Structure 1
């Protein structure tokens, strides 16, 4: 019960932290390419473990968004968090599969959105009691809508 409470109350902090690390990872990738290409003249690709970190960020951010949306008092915040997470998945998936020619900088949009949304949710969208955030009670009262 305590672990569940900690997950729910800290999910926005974990989400903002993971999204910030994802952003740093995305910013550092070009430098890793340059350093790796200089160290090993045969290859101009990042190490596979570096590329695999993307999947770790997707996993951590999924659980952070999941628990944050369970505790959010505003329906628009729930939608915005999930839309940003899906956007992050689509951009990273496209990067791995090379489906569309998208600019590399597009990854920053959902990563920054997740950081900002998690911080905003932590400050302004938390439930005052256990009743407003239960999955059974998804009908939001007019004062909790925040529109």
Structure 2
């Protein structure tokens, strides 16, 4: 089984894992900088590699959303996954390029949304027909 086939079969797991790790990364950043600032006075920057972690999470999330939307049985799931990913990517890129001023806490919304939607998709929407998705939610 090739790597892309293995990834596509487990895309919801990878997506929820990447989004969860992104969330932990976002939660840990202020704490790490506070500790770092206590040790290095006047040095208000982070290591270069720390900023690259965001881009790594976006790339993994993109692949997970791409494969999950190809395998889901519900059209609405495709939309919410792509909207959540786009929102997350915009916030991360905005943080790096400073397009518009946004609250740092906004990043938690799409991160949590991606975790929830990937887990929901894995549990309820992985079949050929609509009968395996919950009957209360419509396309």
Structure 1 portions without partners, runs of 5+: 133-140
Tell me the distance in 2 between the aligned counterparts of 1:67 and 1:27: 27
TM-score (norm 2): 0.89
SS at match of 1:100: coil
Aligned residues of 1:36 and 1:45 also touching (Cα < 8 A): no
1:50 is matched with: 50
Which structure 2 residues correspond to residues 1-147 of structure 1 after superposition, within 5 A?
1-128=1-128, 146-147=138-139
SS at match of 1:44: coil
CA-CA distance at 1:66 after TM superposition: 0.7
Q: Return closer, same or farther for 1:44/1:2 CA change in 2, 3 Å cut-off.
A: closer
Aligned residues of 1:11 and 1:64 also touching (Cα < 8 A): yes
CA-CA distance at 1:4 after TM superposition: 4.2
Aligned residues of 2:69 and 2:81 also touching (Cα < 8 A): yes
CA-CA distance at 1:47 after TM superposition: 1.5
Structure 2 portions without partners, runs of 5+: none
Aligned residue pairs: how many? Answer: 136
Aligned residues of 1:73 and 1:126 also touching (Cα < 8 A): yes
Q: Structure 1 stretch 78-87 or stretch 36-45: which is displaced more?
A: 36-45
Tell me the distance in 2 between the aligned counterparts of 1:54 and 1:107: 11
CA-CA distance at 1:24 after TM superposition: 0.2
Tell me the distance in 1 between the aligned counterparts of 2:27 and 2:70: 31
